[in-house]
Structure 1
Amino acid sequence: MRKIAVFLITVLSAGVNIQAQQFHGGITAGISASQVAGDQLSGYDKAGLFFGGFVNLDLSERSAMQMELTYYQKGSRANPDSTNNYKQYKFRANYIEFPVLYQFKAGKFRVFAGPSLGFLMGQYEESDYQRLDIADGYNRPAAVTFQFNLGIGFYLSEKLGAEFRTNNSLLNIRSRNATGDVWRFWTYGQFHDSLVISLFYRFR
């Protein structure tokens, strides 16, 4: 976690240094709610952290491009209760993601969309309080993932704003060849789906 924080700060500092070249730099942080399509569970029950930095270039009065570097916690969770026969499950996957977003601006509001490339930094998985990710033959999530982001943001002040976004896997994170696997686009398996509420601060 400490190495990730140092890496994000280094890239963020680079973004600040190129502000003189008409780029805008900033930071963002928030919380995520995630699920895994294909794990036979349902609901955005896994909470996580979302934070990072961005650089933004205005293309015109109405449009901009933004590149981000974010730390993103995703996964799935089931707390034992009578509705699931008291089954317990937890899956946590930590990623560094690189989104490239196109923004359309209208007054204080903006809508944005674009792909992101994710790199798995670590995972933890357990079922009925038994560790799965340390067992022989563990089906590890894919080291590299590809997602699509869609969201809306608005400025609360000149530099401070809030955002809501969705982040959905385009390629499977793993295939179990099990009953719960789902088909999405051109692959079959399990997929991350997450929602994020965040604040962002633009340096200038």
Structure 2
Amino acid sequence: MKHHRLFIIALVALQLSFVDTFAQGFKGGVTLGVAATQVDGDTYGGFDKAGPILGFWVERNLVANWFWRANFRFIQKGSFAKIKDSDMTDFYRMKLNYFELPFTFGYQFVNGFSAIAGTSVGYLTKATEENSLGTFPDSDAFSFRKFEIAALAGMEYNYSENWRFGLMLSYSIIPIRPYNDNISYRMDTGQRNRVIEFLVVYRFQ
């Protein structure tokens, strides 16, 4: 509960600053998107899990064509797989709900494209795993780390003054959950989120 209160306070503070920053030369708007996700280390492959992305952002120009951006958003990560054998068809689904604070720097090219990179700190509010037999025990969900640090990189296309379309890649810098019995494979010490983000970015007037 303490972590939940801290993130609510951070959200309120960001909302207040979001309203105030337009008087200081900032831009701002909202982001909508879809995340295609998988979890490295869960023994399944493919970006087969889709999750929503919803948030808001503020941005300010730096020197020349450089800018920085701060975001607050909700994103659902995880993985999904269909499992087939000779006797039955099963499935596995992992859902990880995060509130994230991504901070990125970008460079806008003359052709309307922008390159963006940065890091993100996320707080895991809910984790579930399930298959055809039902939801996994709470002890499995509790094994996920509450905080995630991820690296971000991608491109945006500035369609107009108000609309942008983006493609971003993100990957967990530290594992989101250790392997059973804390087993490690050289530098591989646990499961990590791998995400492809398809974004629509709207700038307020």
**TM-score interval (norm. to shorter):** 0.7 to 0.9
Q: Is the 8 A contact 1:56 1:67 kept in 2?
A: yes
The alignment covers a number of residue pairs equal to 198
Query: How many angstroms apart in 2 are the aligned matches of 1:138 and 1:102?
Result: 33
Where does residue 23 of structure 1 map in the other structure?
A: 26
5 Å-filtered alignment, 1:125-140, equals 125-134=129-138, 136=139, 139-140=142-143
Structure 2: 5+ residue runs without aligned partners? 1-6
1:171 aligns with 2:174: yes
Where does residue 38 of structure 1 map in the other structure?
A: 41
CA apart distance, 1:37: 0.1
The range that moved more, 32-41 or 57-66, is: 57-66
Select 1:149's aligned residue among 147, 152, 156.
152
CA apart distance, 1:18: 1.1
Supply the AA of the counterpart residue of 2:127.
Q
**TM-superposition CA deviations, 1:80-112 (whole Å, max 9, x none):** 4459x7331010000001111010111211010
Structure 1: 5+ residue runs without aligned partners? none
5 Å-filtered alignment, 1:13-162, equals 14-82=17-85, 86-107=89-110, 108-134=112-138, 136=139, 139-162=142-165
**TM-superposition CA deviations, 1:51-96 (whole Å, max 9, x none):** 101110100231001011110100011124459x733101000000
SS at match of 1:88: strand
Query: How many angstroms apart in 1 are the aligned matches of 2:128 and 2:44?
Result: 17
1:203 aligns with 2:193: no
Query: How many angstroms apart in 2 are the aligned matches of 1:86 and 1:183?
Result: 34
Supply the AA of the counterpart residue of 1:202.
R
SS at match of 2:42: coil
**TM-superposition CA deviations, 1:158-190 (whole Å, max 9, x none):** 111100001110100111237997665xx6110
Query: How many angstroms apart in 2 are the aligned matches of 1:153 and 1:171?
Result: 26
**TM-superposition CA deviations, 1:34-60 (whole Å, max 9, x none):** 000000000001100011011101002
Q: Is the 8 A contact 2:183 2:189 kept in 1?
A: no
Supply the AA of the counterpart residue of 1:43.
G
The range that moved more, 147-156 or 174-183, is: 174-183
**TM-superposition CA deviations, 1:4-48 (whole Å, max 9, x none):** 99x868844641331111111111001011000000000001100
Q: Is the 8 A contact 2:76 2:95 kept in 1?
A: yes
Q: Among all aligned residue pairs of Structure 1 and Structure 2, give the percentage whose two residues are the same amino acid.
A: 27
TM-score normalised by L of structure 2: 0.85
Q: Is the 8 A contact 1:182 1:190 kept in 2?
A: no
CA apart distance, 1:194: 0.6
SS at match of 1:48: strand
TM-score normalised by L of structure 1: 0.86
Supply the AA of the counterpart residue of 2:92.
Y
